Structure 1
Amino acid sequence: MRFLAIGDSFTEGVGDELPDGTIRGWADLVAAGLAAASDEPVEYANLAVRGRLLEPIINDQLEAALAMSPLPTLISLNGGGNDMLRRGMEVSHLMRLTEHAVTRCADSGVQLLLISGPDPSTRLPFGRTIHQRGAELTVAVAELAGKHGLPFANSFDDVEIRRPEYWSADRLHLNAAGHRRVAGIVLTALGHAAGDHRLDPAPASSRRLLAEARYYREHVVPWLQRRLRGRSSGDGRSAKYPAWTPVPAA
C-alpha cells in the first residue's frame, strides 16, 4: 500500500510535536496502523502544509500526488478549515473543489478517503459561525462520499474530541491525544479495528479573565496580524514527507 495525505495543519500534524521537535499527527499514526494491519511495510507521503486553503490543496497538492511514481493507492483529503475562518466562505465553492478531487482520483485509479476535521468551535471567537459552516460542509462531504462509494472519516461529529483535553493551547489545533483519537476514527473508516482512544475527564476549568487575555494576546492577535499582512503560517514551508517513506510493519 502507498498512502498519501494532503491537507493543511490538521493533516500535517500540528499540535502533536515530539520531544525532538518533529511533528507527528494522525496521518503518521494511520500509516503505522495500516502497516501493522497488513503485516508488511507501507509507503507513506504527506504533502500537507499548515495554513493552506482548499483550492491550493486540490490544485497543487493533489496534482503533485497524482504525478508521483509510483502512484498512491490511497489518498486522504481534508481541507476547508482555513477557508471557514475567512469572510465570504461558500460551502458550494468548497464542494466544487472536492468533487473535482473525486473525479481526478477516479480517473487515475486511486482510492480517495474523505475526512472531516474535528469541530474546534466551542472555545473559539465567532465559534457559532464556524460550527455552522463546518456542519454544513460535513453534511455535503458525507453525501458526496456516499454518492461515490468512498470511505468517509467523520471527526467533526465526534462529541468526545470537542473536549478541551484534546486540544492545544491555541484551541485551533489538536494535541497528541486529539491526533491519536482521529487516527482511530480514520482507521475505523478504512475497515481496520482501532481502539477508541479516550481521555479521563479533567476537572472543569473556568475561563478566567487573565487566562482569556493571555490567549488572545498569544494566539488570536498574531493570527489577525497575519491576515492583515496577507501572510500565512505556512509561508515558506514545504511538505514534511514529499517522497515515499517506508513505514515498517509493527
Structure 2
Amino acid sequence: MAIDSRIQKTDIIGSYAAIGDSFTEGVGDPGPDGTYVGWADRFAVLLADQLPAPDGATHSDSPHGNFRYANLAVRGRLLDRIVAEQVPRAKELAPDLVTFCAGGNDVIRPGTDPDDLAERFERAVAELTDAVGTVMVTTGFDTRGVPVLRHMRGKIATYNVHLRAIADRYHCPVLDLWSLRSIQDRRAWDDDRLHLSAEGHTRVALRAARVLGMDTPADPDQPWPPQAERNTYEVRRDNIQWAREHLVPWIGRRLRGESSGDTVAAKRPDLLPL
C-alpha cells in the first residue's frame, strides 16, 4: 500500500481528535458498557501504542503513555452541523491529528449537490489545517453492495473526487474507504446494512494506521474466511427481516425530519488519556 509522502513514519502523534457522524462515533460496534467503540477508538489505540513509554515507565506500566484522544462525532449529523459544533471544538483542542469524515448523511439526501457540499467541506478543512497538526480526510464508501444506497453510488463517487482534490490542495493524508476491498464483504456490515460491524470498523482502523505509515498487527484487506452459500429462501427471509427492523424505521425518521442523534452528545468531548 502506498504511503502518503507528506506523512513520515517517524512523526510522533501524541493527541488525536475525531470529527464526524455515526461512522466515526462507532455505530455498529458496541462495547461491553453499551457505548459504541468504532474505528476511531480502535485507531486511537494503534496510535497510542506507537508512543514511547513515559520517562521512568514501561509500556507494561502505562501501555498508552501520555497519549490523549477525543471523539466529537455524533450519529446523524449533517455537514453544516458538524462544521458548526465539532470543528470549533477541534480547533480549540488543537491536537496533533484530526480525522475529518463528514457529508455522508448529506450526499445521500435527494437534491443534494455534491459540488456545493464539497465547497463547504473545503472551507472547514482550511479552518482546521490552520489550527491543528495534521488533518486526515476520509472518503465515502463504495455503496454498490448496500441495498438502500446502491443508486447513490455515482453521487458519492463525485463527492469523493472532490474530497481527494481538497486533500491534495491542503496536503492532507486520505483515508480512502472506496478502495478498501475488504469492507465490500457482507460481514463487514452491521445488521442494519448502513453501519459497519466490529470487524468492519477494525479494518478501517488498520487502514487509517497504514495511511500514516504505521506498522499494524494485521492487513486491513486480509481475505475473509470462506463462507457457505445461502439459498434463495434464506436471502429473501433475511431481506424481509432487515426491511422490517431497519429500513422502515430509517425511512420513517427521514419522513418525520428526525435524526438518530437528536438526543446524543459526543462520547469523548475532551482530549483524555485512553
TM-score over 0.5 for the pair: yes
Provide, for residues 79-105 of structure 1, a one-character-per-residue CA deviation record: whole Å limited to 9, x for no partner. 122112211111112211221122102
2:146 to 105, 123, 129: 123
1:20-59 to 2 correspondences below 5 Å: 20-39=33-52, 40-59=65-84
Letter in 2 for 1:200: P
Structure 1 stretch displaced more, 102-111 or 187-196: 102-111
Letter in 2 for 1:88: G
Moved over 6 A (4+): none
Letter in 2 for 1:203: A
List alignment gaps of at least 5 residues for structure 1. Answer: none
Structure 1 stretch displaced more, 109-118 or 54-63: 109-118
Residue 166 of structure 1: aligned partner: 188
Structure 1 stretch displaced more, 115-124 or 25-34: 115-124
Contact in 2 for aligned 1:120/1:172 (Cα 8 Å):
no
CA distance, structure 2, for counterparts of residue 185 and residue 126 of structure 1: 23
Letter in 2 for 1:113: M
1:134-149 to 2 correspondences below 5 Å: 134-149=156-171
Measured at CA, do residues 201 and 80 of structure 1 come closer, stay the same or move farther in structure 2, by a change above 3 Å? farther
Q: Aligned pair count?
A: 244
Instruction: Give 1:47 shift.
Output: 0.5
Report the secondary structure of 2:252's partner residue.
helix
Residue 154 of structure 2: aligned partner: 132
Residue 198 of structure 2: aligned partner: 176
Matched, 1:95 2:95: no
Instruction: Give 1:209 shift.
Output: 2.6
Measured at CA, do residues 119 and 126 of structure 1 come closer, stay the same or move farther in structure 2, by a change above 3 Å? closer
Residue 243 of structure 2: aligned partner: 216
Contact in 1 for aligned 2:118/2:163 (Cα 8 Å):
yes
Matched-pair identity in %: 38
Letter in 2 for 1:65: A
1:155 to 158, 177, 194: 177
Matched, 1:227 2:249: no
Normalised to the residue count of structure 2, the TM-score between the two structures is 0.84
CA distance, structure 1, for counterparts of residue 32 and residue 251 of structure 2: 29
Letter in 1 for 2:178: F
Letter in 2 for 1:110: G
Matched, 1:14 2:41: no
Report the secondary structure of 2:130's partner residue.
helix
CA distance, structure 2, for counterparts of residue 216 and residue 232 of structure 1: 19
Measured at CA, do residues 235 and 206 of structure 1 come closer, stay the same or move farther in structure 2, by a change above 3 Å? farther
CA distance, structure 1, for counterparts of residue 149 and residue 137 of structure 2: 26
Provide, for residues 92-125 of structure 1, a one-character-per-residue CA deviation record: whole Å limited to 9, x for no partner. 1221122112210222243211012433441323
CA distance, structure 1, for counterparts of residue 264 and residue 132 of structure 2: 30
CA distance, structure 2, for counterparts of residue 95 and residue 110 of structure 1: 22
CA RMSD of aligned residues (A): 1.6
CA distance, structure 2, for counterparts of residue 215 and residue 109 of structure 1: 41
CA distance, structure 1, for counterparts of residue 87 and residue 22 of structure 2: 16
**Higher normalized helix content (fraction of residues):** 1
Instruction: Give 1:201 shift.
Output: 3.1
Contact in 2 for aligned 1:2/1:72 (Cα 8 Å):
yes
CA distance, structure 2, for counterparts of residue 158 and residue 16 of structure 1: 18
Contact in 1 for aligned 2:76/2:259 (Cα 8 Å):
yes
CA distance, structure 2, for counterparts of residue 29 and residue 11 of structure 1: 11
Matched, 1:82 2:95: no
Letter in 1 for 2:128: C
